Amino acid sequence: MTEKEILKDHDITVHTFNGDLLPDEVGFYDPITKTAFISDKLNKKERIKVLLHELGHLDHTTAEYTNARVRCENEANRNMIHHLLKDALSQLENKADFNYIKFMEYYHLTTVTDEIMVKEEYQALV
């Protein structure tokens, strides 16, 4: 999956920013300019993850994000996991060969919430 493939159905722009300026931030989305900003410190795999996460914020309003930040972040993570999982499953001949632990290790998904989302999204996709 490439950035171009991810962005083809979305009317947004992507720009990189100097990751040294915002060391605790890897990406963010500005709904006013319809722009995703991604740290230049990320490798290709992490950049894809961050872009998919930021696309998960497209439907969030500023007020919604302010009042329900955790929910919005979880929805954005679920969007990322869904698309990464869909891509991973498309590369398997037998979907039953999917190993969610290896998938989580590969993408550095470490929380219980991530694990639950991976399992739920796998069930929804197969």
- List pLDDT tens digits, range 18-74: 988 888 899 999 888 989 999 999 999 999 999 999 999 998 988 999 999 999 999
pLDDT single digits (tens) 74-121: 999 999 999 999 999 999 999 999 999 999 999 999 999 999 999 999
- In angstroms, the CA 109 to CA 100 distance is 10
Give residue 78's pLDDT: 97
- In angstroms, the CA 28 to CA 93 distance is 35
| Secondary-structure breakdown of the chain: helix, strand, coil percentages, each rounded to the nearest 5 | 55, 10, 35
Give residue 44's pLDDT: 93
pLDDT single digits (tens) 6-17: 888 888 899 999
Which of 37, 39, 21 shows the shortest CA–CA distance to 29? 37
Say how many C-beta atoms besides its own lie within 10 A of residue 18's C-beta: 9
